[in-house]
Structure 1
């Protein structure tokens, strides 16, 4: 089953073309099987520019009472932990992008949140399912469209109709509070009902079973198509690898020939030609390559002849050297160790986890009062934070803005 993301955003304006999201909450539901799942809560705050802010939108979300960051900076914070974890805006955007990839969005008016999330994350990063689901529609489906009354449906009324009390005044219009409300309404609206032992009840049960089976079949067909595509790609890569290995073996033998072969054998495959010495080589795979250097080439330029069952193919030596040099450079680049990601400059505290510092507590690096590692004093032996580590940094802040002061 696809993971579900119960979402909510608090914004500086009702229009995504003008305002920005300053608070984002996600409750990620991941399924182990049809009856077991886990919910994980995430909450971020972003520093925003209030130049075009709508005072009413700020009042609804209680921006001035609840915000923790100053405005007009590139900072963000993971506020789902205590204390909050300060980070750069791009780190938070990357985290939300990864979290929502492949999920189905559920919320109260999720189209509103969808627009602000697309603006926040940037082009190409809205990688969730294209159809978000509104809890007011789920609740109406539960009690029946006729019982829900005329449009527009009111979320608070239908929430109570499925047994879920809307958030209290001090919780409403907080991103995490509204995301929890969306989750509770979803659970109430999708909770299975006992089957009534009547013709109507049995018919509804049969329709439900048919729908679930059709969805599972469609998912299985999609997975089968993906598997077939993966198999075909593997075959293509295997064929390409075989060709590259053949090219690599041929280049090795050509280089040996140009540098002067240690062993030369007159090739019986071709008749002796005046002014031409034939060489017969076998590469590591057992493939054979016959080459020779004519003493008097037809075009009066040094060339290497590739003998085939039909006519020789002559390639100028200068061009052959260019090909071999390019092959050497390509091989050198392939063998070169990938560069390590940049390590924050002196004066930064870094951590490998999104929140907390459990991993830093176990490593040999020197820790700052906040529990993160002092980047400039990371241990060379540490595989998590050391200078040679290729692992990503998931939280960081400058030492002079560390949320925990040194008790000494």
Structure 2
């Protein structure tokens, strides 16, 4: 049963990416958080923070995760601070950081590459899930669009769908090798892939027909 209503107001869109100390939200911690947010007025804003992981999370950190994300080279939070706004340079308490993130994600459609991973860490970090209950994985969305447009013609990988693979077929520029696995470039990448799929004329036409037919 669809829970969408024709009178629902437009929701903000929030493309997110996190860099973490490992893959398990029960043991590991997010240390870099990026949001590319499109408001209901269509204005797009970017946000980037770093926070110091808990001592326990660092003790249990996956060394490979820290190396891939460049934790030791890129951690910029002063030793006497808990978190840092990487765009304004302002130091924050964890409470201030969590409040800002919560407000930006409130009612938003959460999108990202393998967004369930980011959502699990965000939910544990915030103690809540203020975003819309149906997050969107951009790799799966784009793969579905490509297969529908050219059934059986998209070469290469099957499941699980690779964001890089579908990006190449959608013509979306990927972050440079130096920027991969840094939160803001990856959040921008997810935002660009999502908006490219939804800006496709053939996608808009199918979506319009679905709305007319009452399909979810």
CA distance in 1, matches of 2:100, 2:135: 20
Match 2:103 to one of 98, 113, 118: 98
* Cα shift readout 1:216-248 (whole Å, capped 9, x = no counterpart): x99xxxxxxxxxxxxxxxxxxxxxxxxxxxxxx
- 2:176 aligned with 1:168: yes
Runs of 4+ in structure 1 deviating by more than 6 angstroms, as ranges, are: none
Match 2:116 to one of 105, 111, 130: 111
CA distance in 2, matches of 1:214, 1:93: 41
Q: What is the match of residue 85 of structure 1?
A: 90
The structure, 1 or 2, with the larger RCO (C-alpha pairs under 8 Å, 6+ apart) is: 2
Q: How many residues align?
A: 199
Shift of 1:69: 1.9
* Cα shift readout 1:62-87 (whole Å, capped 9, x = no counterpart): 0011111256x761111122xx1001
CA RMSD of aligned residues (A): 2.3
- 2:136 aligned with 1:133: yes
CA distance in 2, matches of 1:179, 1:194: 25
Shift of 1:135: 1.1
1:198-347 pair list within 5 angstroms: 205=205, 207-213=206-212
Match 2:28 to one of 10, 15, 19: 19
Q: Contact 2:81/2:91 (CA < 8 Å) preserved in 1?
A: no
Structure 1 length normalisation: TM-score? Answer: 0.46
Q: What is the match of residue 5 of structure 2?
A: none
- 2:184 aligned with 1:184: no
Q: What is the match of residue 10 of structure 1?
A: 19
Structure ID, larger Rg: 1
Change (3 A) 1:213 1:30: farther
Q: What is the match of residue 145 of structure 2?
A: 142
Match 1:159 to one of 162, 167, 170: 167
* Cα shift readout 1:134-163 (whole Å, capped 9, x = no counterpart): 111121122116344532222211111000
Q: Which runs of 5+ in 2 are unaligned?
A: 1-9
CA distance in 2, matches of 1:79, 1:55: 24
Change (3 A) 1:211 1:194: closer
SS of residue in 1 equivalent to 2:27? coil
Q: Which runs of 5+ in 1 are unaligned?
A: 196-203, 219-408
Shift of 1:212: 3.4
Match 2:49 to one of 40, 44, 47: 44
Q: What is the match of residue 60 of structure 1?
A: 68
